[in-house]
């Protein structure tokens, strides 16, 4: 007698289809959840700029200020004269130096014309000098900028580079002259950290610090203030490994990086966070950074 039951998928096949559908939907939702944070830049997109050629590999801390974009902020620059050197005479204003670097040594980006003229003035002076490769260091006399302390100066790589002190100043100048654009930003984690620090817009302030031994096992810290669609302060913390980063995440979140939004770039053992400020807080924010 023929079987009159209707042919079709068994209940097991139907159940399997339902389970697959649930897995697909759940996986899709999980992907959306994991990708909910900002898209991270990649180290391959890192492009070295001129000032990076000043940073030695073993530097402990340095700071970059964009003077050009801050020159009109009178609370920061009540006078356009940024500093002056008496002999040979040089006046640097907030309008003719686009940015400055502080790393225990001060480096001022100046126009080629200004640097050439000042280099000629140094060569024509009777100042004590030391030749170092193709660069000459000159010992400045007493001047207001160095608060009458001894100082050495040179012109190199498109910068006026000035250091206070005696032997330590000369050693510092040598380390800056010897540096190249790849000396400091030599690893993917450092490149990633810099790209994250400047990601939100034109960068006004950027700093790097190696804190040494610390209870959070932080290897280095970067901080960037950007002024794009909003005024943002992004802190970037790097750890020796992903495991250490994960183990310290709650400690950092609760005690250090109390930012509005907190993320991690686990491929580079990095935790980073953002705080957004109204534009009216620009002066207070930069002054809190040591401007």
**Per residue of the chain (291 residues), what is the pLDDT tens digit?**
444 444 444 443 433 333 333 333 333 333 323 334 567 889 999 999 999 999 999 999 999 988 888 888 888 888 877 777 888 888 887 777 888 888 889 999 998 999 999 999 999 999 999 999 999 999 987 655 556 578 899 999 999 999 988 888 999 999 999 999 889 999 999 999 999 999 878 889 999 999 999 999 999 999 999 987 788 999 999 999 999 999 998 888 888 876 667 888 888 999 998 888 898 899 998 888 877
3-state helix, strand, coil in the chain (%, to 5): 30, 30, 40
Identify whether 241 is part of a domain: yes
Residues 6+ apart with CB under 8 A from 171: none
Task: Give the chain's count of helices (H) and strands (E).
Answer: 6, 14
Give the Cα separation of 3 and 20 in Å (integer).
31
Give the Cα separation of 156 and 178 in Å (integer).
11
Can you give the pLDDT at residue 188? 95
**C-beta separation of 163 from 152 below 8 A:** yes
**C-beta separation of 110 from 160 below 8 A:** yes
Identify whether 13 is part of a domain: no
Residues 163 and 196 in one domain: no
If 0-12 CB within 10 Å is exposed, 13-18 middle and 19+ buried, where does residue 58 land?
A: exposed
Identify whether 32 is part of a domain: no
Q: Which domain holds residue 238?
A: 187-288
Q: How many domains does the chain have?
A: 2
Which of 158, 178, 198 terminates a domain? The answer is: 178
Which of 155, 178, 201 terminates a domain? The answer is: 178
Identify whether 114 is part of a domain: yes
Can you give the pLDDT at residue 146? 56
Residues 167 and 192 in one domain: no
Identify whether 1 is part of a domain: no
Residues 204 and 173 in one domain: no
Give the Cα separation of 92 and 40 in Å (integer).
38
Indicate the pTM of the whole model. 0.82
Which of 125, 145, 178 terminates a domain? The answer is: 178
């Amino acid at each position: 007698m023929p079987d009159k039951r209707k042919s079709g998928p068994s209940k097991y096949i139907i159940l399997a289809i339902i389970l697959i559908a649930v897995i697909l939907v759940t996986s899709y939702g999980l992907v959306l959840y994991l990708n909910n944070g900002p898209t991270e830049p990649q180290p391959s997109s890192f492009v070295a700029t001129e000032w990076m050629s000043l940073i030695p590999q073993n530097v402990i801390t340095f700071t970059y200020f964009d003077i050009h974009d801050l020159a009109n902020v009178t609370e920061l620059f009540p006078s356009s004269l940024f500093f002056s050197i008496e002999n040979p005479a040089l006046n640097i204003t907030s309008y003719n130096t686009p940015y400055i670097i502080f790393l225990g040594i001060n480096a001022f980006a100046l126009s080629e014309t200004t640097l050439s003229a000042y280099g000629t003035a140094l060569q024509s002076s009777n100042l004590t000098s030391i030749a170092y490769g193709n660069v000459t260091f000159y010992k400045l006399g007493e001047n207001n900028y160095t608060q009458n302390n001894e100082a050495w100066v040179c012109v190199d790589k498109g910068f006026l580079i000035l250091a206070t002190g005696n032997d330590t100043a000369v050693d510092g100048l040598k380390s800056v002259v010897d540096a190249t654009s790849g000396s400091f930003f030599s690893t993917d984690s450092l490149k990633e950290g810099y790209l994250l620090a400047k990601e939100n817009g034109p960068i006004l302030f950027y700093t790097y610090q190696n804190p040494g031994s610390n209870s959070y096992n932080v290897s280095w810290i970067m901080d960037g203030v950007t002024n794009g669609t909003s005024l943002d302060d992004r802190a970037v913390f790097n750890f020796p490994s992903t495991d250490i980063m994960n183990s310290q995440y709650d400690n950092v979140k609760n005690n250090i990086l109390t930012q509005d939004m907190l993320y991690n770039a686990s491929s580079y053992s990095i935790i980073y966070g953002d705080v957004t400020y109204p534009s009216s807080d620009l002066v207070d924010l930069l002054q809190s950074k040591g401007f």
